[in-house]
Amino acid sequence: MDRISDDQLLKLAREASLKAHAPYSAFPVGAALLSSDGTVFTGCNIENASYGLTICAERVALFKAVSEGVKDFDTLALWAEKPSWPCGACLQCLAEFAPDLRVIRLGEAGVEERSLKELLPLAFHLPSATENERE
C-alpha cells in the first residue's frame, strides 16, 4: 500500500483538532504522527483548569504511539487555525525518539516542512556513561 500523503496526514491532524479540549486558550491544535511502519497516531491539546497541566497535541500523539510500542517515526503533521511549529517541550520529547523527523504544517502558500533538527538543533541528550566517566 502507498504511503499516506502529506495532504492526508494534515487532514487527519485537522480532524484531531476537532477533539481538542481548549476552553481556556480557544486555540485547538491537532497532530498526526506517521510512524515508520505507516501507522498514524493522532492527538489534540487537552487543557486543564490548573493551566500548567495542559498537554499539547504533539505529545498526546507521541505518547499514544510509544505506549502502543511504536518508537520510530517519519513525519509529524500539525494543524492549528494559525499555523505554528511545535513548542520547545514537544520538540524535546520528539527528539528522544525521532531526531530525523519531518515536521509539516499547512501555511498560506501550502505545505511547509522543517526537520526536527532545524527546529531544535541542540536537543538535550543524556551524556553516555563513558562520557560521564571522563568528567
- Active site members: 58
Cβ atoms 98, 116 nearer than 8 A: yes
Which residues fall within 8 angstroms of residue 7, CB to CB, at 6 or more apart?
111
Residue 95 binds to ligand THU (criterion: CB under 6 A): no
Residue 86 binds to ligand THU (criterion: CB under 6 A): yes
Is beta strand 73-80 parallel, antiparallel or unpaired with respect to 102-107? parallel
Which residues fall within 8 angstroms of residue 97, CB to CB, at 6 or more apart?
62, 66, 71, 72, 73
Residue 77 binds to ligand THU (criterion: CB under 6 A): no
Each residue 108-127 as x (binds ligand THU by CB under 6 A) or -, in order, gives: --------------------
Of residues 56 and 77, the one with the C-beta less far from ligand THU:
56
Residue ranges in 27-66 that form contacts with ligand THU under rule CB under 6 A = 27, 29, 45, 47, 54, 56-58
C-beta of 61: minimal distance to ligand THU in Å?
10
Which one among 66, 87, 111, 123 touches ligand THU, defined by CB under 6 A? 87
Our measurement of the distance from residue 102's CA atom to the centroid of its chain's CA atoms, rounded to an integer in Å, reads 10
Of residues 23 and 69, the one with the C-beta less far from ligand THU:
23
Angle (deg, nearest 10), helices 57-67 and 6-17: 110
